[in-house]
Amino acid sequence: MSKIRGFEVCKRYEENNINIPKRQTKNAAGYDFECAKDTIVPSIWRAMLVNIGKFFMGLNDYEVIKPVLVPTGIKSYMQEDEALFLYNRSSNPLKKGLVLGNSVGVCDADFYSNISDDGHIRFQFYNFFPYDVEIKKGERIGQGIFKKFLKVDNDISENERQGGFGSTDTK
């Protein structure tokens, strides 16, 4: 039987007791992803206050405020005309101050097992609470939904994926 769509544990996480994403109820659309290792998501407010101080002192070497990539230890395979869309848990903003930096993550079919990171799915989080937030291993962090997509007439995309996050716009 050939594989159609599903999840696997990434090679470097095979010994870490990673749970495969699953739906929590029979009518749930999303497969729940868990955090693969304890991860701290720092508050963005510290960096913002430092940057405001530097601004008023006439300095311009601002701290970069970037989302934290929270590992899942999971990769996903699917058909060529499908993508896996990654969404935040609805409780994360309210309970933990966590929002996705990219609003919705998109894993293309050719992201699976790519050479740079084995197709490792990670969620990008910003923490808007005034204190750091710890996400524990095994804690549910987001959900993934598989969807079909359409192509336009005369689509000519023939490039092959070379890596992971943001790799399709690098040369």
pLDDT in tens, 21-62: 999 999 999 999 999 999 999 999 989 999 999 999 999 888
CA atoms within 13 A on the CB side of 169: 2
**pTM (predicted TM-score):** 0.88
Q: What is the pLDDT of residue 113?
A: 85
Residue 159 confidence class, pLDDT cut points 50, 70, 90: confident
pLDDT(167) > 90: no
Beta bridge partners of 33: 142
pLDDT(1) > 90: no
Q: Is 120 or 170 the better-scoring residue by pLDDT?
A: 120
- Three-state SS annotation for the chain: CCCCCEEEECHHHCCCCCCCCECCCCCCCCEEEECCCCEEECEHHHHHHHHHHHHHCCCCCCCCCCCEEEEEEEEEECCCCEEEEEEECCCHHHHHCEEECCCCEEEEHHHCCCCCCCCCEEEEEEECCCCCEEECCCCEEEEEEEEECCCCCCCCCCCCCCCCCCHHHCC
Tokens of 146: 């598989």
Residue 166 confidence class, pLDDT cut points 50, 70, 90: low
Residue 161 confidence class, pLDDT cut points 50, 70, 90: low
CATH of domain 6-149: 2.70.40.10
| Under 8 Å between Cβ of 135 and 70 | yes
Mean predicted lDDT score pLDDT of the chain: 93
Residue 2 confidence class, pLDDT cut points 50, 70, 90: confident
Determine how β-strand 140-148 pairs with β-strand 31-34: antiparallel
* Among 31-35, 53-57, 97-101, 120-124, the least confident range: 53-57
| Under 8 Å between Cβ of 41 and 70 | yes
Mean pLDDT of 132-158: 95
pLDDT in tens, 62-92: 888 999 999 999 999 999 999 999 999 999 9
